[in-house]
Structure formats: structure tokens, C-alpha cells
Structure 1
Amino acid sequence: MGEAVTDRGARVIVVDEPDGQGGYLLSRLRRVGELCAQNPGYRWPDQYENGASPDIHRRTTGPEITEQTGPDLGAVYVPVSTGGTLAGVSAHLREHRPDVAAVAVDVRGSLAVAGDAGRRLIPRIGSSRPSAFLQGPHSYDRAVHVDDIEAIAVCRILAEDVGVVLGGSSGCAVRALLTDLENDRTDGRLPVCLAADGGRKYRDTLYSDDWATEQGIRREIEIAAAVNQLRSEGLFFDRKHQEH
């Protein structure tokens, strides 16, 4: 754990102690608790348990999705970290479109949605603890746990085929949808992936072979093998490749 001061005078506290659950969340939350206890004037919005998080998605994100997709909508794939987005979107669907499935997209190694703890490579998806927003039986319809190497491969294939550079959680959502398509779980209706993060901030991580090596991933074996496997299964995102 360290500290740094920006040129604008802000103090940045870096928490780099693993929490024993595949990430750093529990260590960060513990440090936030210490800071609030030591400084009574501090205020913490707490995105992990603040009910305003699912509520804003119930009132805005959910309606936007259903209004723009229309009656053909069959499922919405939502990446999970805090779980607030999924909880809000699902609440809207339950009330206004109960025929539409709310699909929780988590990554293997995450505890956010009934998973097992393990090392996680992709930031901004998954959690070191179960989501506080997804406790009830109607929080979502089903969950898909995505392999992070396969999600990275999907991100790279999309970028190669159509120039769309997605962030990690968005790549996970697309991979989850592809899994359901392979298993005929979409019922022929329109599926939608909630892609909330772009790939610009991931260029030095998910799209970098040097980063992969630093993480202990041998690109030529793991990521490249995943790309080749998906290609061999017919995964292409543009018409020109499909014609060949």
C-alpha cells in the first residue's frame, strides 16, 4: 500500500494487497473503512451497497434498453461487478417486460454471482464477494460464467474484424451471448449485450501481448489458441469473412 500526491494536490492511496479471493476488493473496502473511521467528516457513496445504484438503472438504463429494442427483445446480458446495474435493469424488466430474460454475466474466479474464488485477469467485472444487490430469487433469470481468456479473445476478434474495441466487461457480455447461441438458449429472439466500457483504456492490457506475458499468459498458447478455436467454430463478425 502506498500514497502519491497529484499535481493538483489530490492524495492517491494505492491498495495493492491481495484479498485472498482473487482480487483486491476486500482490502480496498477495509482501507476505506479505516479512512472513514479516522476522518468523521469523510463521506463514502458506497457503490457496493447504496440502493441508489440499482434504482438509477431501474429508472433509466432499463427503460432505454426496452424502448430502443422493442417487442422482439428476448434477453439482456449484463456484466456484474457490484451488481447494481443488473439489479436495476432486472427490476425494470420484471415490472414492464417479464418475458425478457435478465442474464448475469460474471467471470470465472469471481464470487459476485454464485461462483468460486480464483485469480481474475479482467478488471471492472467480477468481485471478491457476493453482490449485495443480487440476493433475492428475482434478481436475475440465469447466470453465465465466462472464461477470461476467451473473453479477451473475443475482444481481439471484434477489433480485428470490425474495428470495434471493447472493454473487458463488454467482451465478457459478448462471450456469454455466444455461449448461449451455441447452446440454443436465445429462443430466436433478439438478445442485447450491455457494453458499458470501451477499449481505449485497455490498449495496454487486454490488447497487449506484453501485458499478457507479465500476467503469466503465454499469448502464443493461451490467447492465440482461444482465438484460433473460436475462428475454427465459425466466429466472424463481418460479412466479408462469413462469405469466405
Structure 2
Amino acid sequence: MPEGPNLHLHRHGDGPAVLWLHGYTMDSTTWQPLWERLPGWTHIGVDLPGHGRSAPLTPGLTLPALAGQLAELAKETGARRAVALSFGSMSALQLAVQEPSLLDRLVLAAPTLAGTPNEDSARVRYQQLAMLYRMTGPGEPLADLWMQSPPDIFTGTERHPALRAALRSVVARHTWAELGNRAMDALTAHHHTADDLRRITARTLVLLGDEDMPAFTRNAELLRDTVPDCRLETLRETGHLPLLERPEECAPLIAAHLA
């Protein structure tokens, strides 16, 4: 399986290729419950820079540059479909805007648009994480702080103790190096405009938890109203991580959309 210079790939299954982009502080191992419910595809999980087994996030890496790396992966693997969650959806959106001819189908859960207002509680928590990182370095205390509410990123996992424990193990492995070198600054400096979103030609499905934070509800509605071919599905009693919280409900929706 080809890999970019900085990106580790996790492959599962056989069939047409689908790229999967995970959320912040996670990695491709989180997709396994969904992949097992979606036979007939080659699922290609991309560990984003600074996550999982990929190379560290380099200061100065921009969102268009990262989308360029993903475009090369799409070409090399033949993937014309992508599924992305939260932070990963920002990169998937940029790929669909920047290289519209590469993707036929796009699934975005808890969509993140570059340059749009985030939850104030998320900004405060990130500042707290940076302070704790300077005092203690990486490890379980940062994972526990990150998974506290507010912000309500992991609140929905409280209904699913096994999932929450598994995610804590993944988050506890995160290096948090971006807190020390501010490598996220250039990556998040981009801005997605309405004109950008109108460039997307992929048929798009947006999945939203009915208990997600207001910023992501606004993003989902903006995509529904702006992307030329976009449908929004809302899952009941679901928080910010619908693909992980409700794999049994999301899998049929994704399967029908990717087909």
C-alpha cells in the first residue's frame, strides 16, 4: 500500500477504495467497528500528521498542503470516496474543494469548516491543555482533561463505556507535540468560504448528532444549504462522534451513500 512521506495507512477489506480521516487526537484504529459493518470495500485509514503512526505535524504545514498529500494518496490508491469525522472533515473538505474531480462520494460527520467560529469552551480547553503539557508533558492527564466536558466532544461516549475506554487509550497515546511547537497554527489558519463549498462536486452526506455542539450544527446546515449535492442526516441521542457512538446506525447510511 503506498504511503505519503508523512502519512501512515491502515488497510482493511477488499473492494473499491475509501479514504477514512479521523478526529483530533485519534487515529485509524478507531474505525474498526464501522469497517466490520461495511464489507465489500478497501478501507484505507489515514493517520493524519502528528497522529497515530504518522510523522509529527510539521510547523508551517498548511491545510492546502495537507490536502495535496491526500490527493496523491487518492490517486495512488484509486480512492474516489472519503469518510471523515470532525477534525478530519476539515481536511476532507479541502481535498474536495481543491481537487473536485478526485472524489465521487463524500461523508462528513460532525463537520469542521476551516476558519469558522468554534465553541468557546473548546478554545479554553485547548489553552488549558497547552498549560498542562508545559508542566507534565504528554500522558494520561492530558487525555483525561481533553475528554472532560465542556466542550462536549466526548460527552456522547458516556452512554457507551466500552467505547469511551477504548478512545481514552487512543487519546492517551497522542504525543501532543503540537501544543509545544504550535504546529496547528498554520493548519487551522485557512478559511473555507461559501464559494469554496460550491466547488465541491462529490455527492455529499453529512451526519450530525442531535446533541452535538451548536458550532457543528451550524456547519452541517451550511454544508446542506451550500454544497451543490448534499444531504443532512441527524442521529437521535447522539453527540459529537456519531460514527463512533452509533456505528450500527451509521453503517447502512454510509453503505447506501458510497454505493
What TM-score, normalized by structure 1, do the two folds share?
0.30
Structure number with the bigger relative contact order (C-alpha 8 A, sep ≥ 6) is 2
More helix by share: 2
Bigger Rg, which one? 1
Relative to the length of structure 2, the TM-score reads 0.29
